[in-house]
């Protein structure tokens, strides 16, 4: 039978300190920090970043965000496109002028979304679905609706 008086005990503080000193845990933390830093610097492509959502810190407030910061929100990644200090109602999904979603790599033809500026405009070769059709962008900085200008319909 279990007797707590004969067992060694470790405080939560001691256990956390031992974990911090664990070389494998230290290496994993360093690798995670390096991965996020490289992703935010554009050295890791968005597909790879979205395959590793858990490496990124969750969006929070009030936090001073800089252009290029990447945060997780609602299980998805968002890139900061304008320096700002976050507020409770400026979530990445509610503040399109501050954040842009980093796409889902498994979705070949994501739904077209009206760009609001250069930070989220489409580039040559970008694929979208719109009005039941598939389109590819013919130009960089494409802010036009597919079927209006700058897109080729794909069969």
pLDDT, mean of residues 71-89: 95
pLDDT of res. 65: 98
Cis-peptide, bond into residue 81, ω within 30° of zero: no
Q: pLDDT > 70: what percent of the chain?
A: 93
- Quick: pLDDT tens for 123-151: 899 898 999 999 999 999 999 999 999 99
Q: Are 136 and 127 in contact (CB under 8 A)?
A: yes
Q: What is 12-102's CATH number, 3.10.450.240, 2.10.10.20, 2.60.40.10, 2.160.10.10?
A: 2.10.10.20
Is residue 116 pLDDT above 90, yes or no?
Answer: no
Assigned token pair, 153: 């319909």
Assigned token pair, 76: 């998805």
CATH superfamily of 107-155: Carbohydrate-binding module superfamily 5/12 (2.10.10.20)
Q: Which residue has the higher pLDDT, 16 or 80?
A: 80
Q: Which residue has the higher pLDDT, 6 or 34?
A: 34
pTM to 2 decimal places: 0.63
Location of each CATH 2.10.10.20 domain in the chain: 12-102, 107-155
């Amino acid at each position: 039978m279990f007797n707590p008086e004969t067992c060694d005990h470790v405080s939560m503080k001691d256990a956390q300190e031992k974990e911090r000193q664990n070389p494998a845990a230290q290496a994993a933390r360093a690798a995670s920090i390096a991965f996020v830093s490289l992703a935010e610097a554009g050295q890791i492509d968005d597909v790879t970043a979205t395959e590793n959502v858990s490496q990124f810190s969750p969006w929070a407030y009030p936090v001073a965000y800089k252009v290029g910061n990447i945060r997780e929100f609602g299980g998805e990644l968002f890139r900061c496109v304008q320096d700002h200090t976050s507020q409770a109602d400026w979530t990445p999904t509610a503040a399109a002028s501050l954040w842009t979603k980093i796409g889902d790599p498994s979705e070949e033809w994501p739904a077209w979304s009206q760009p609001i500026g250069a930070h989220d405009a489409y580039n040559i070769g970008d694929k979208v679905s719109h009005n039941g059709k598939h389109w590819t962008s013919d130009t960089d900085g494409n802010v036009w609706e597919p079927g209006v200008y700058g897109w080729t319909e794909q069969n």
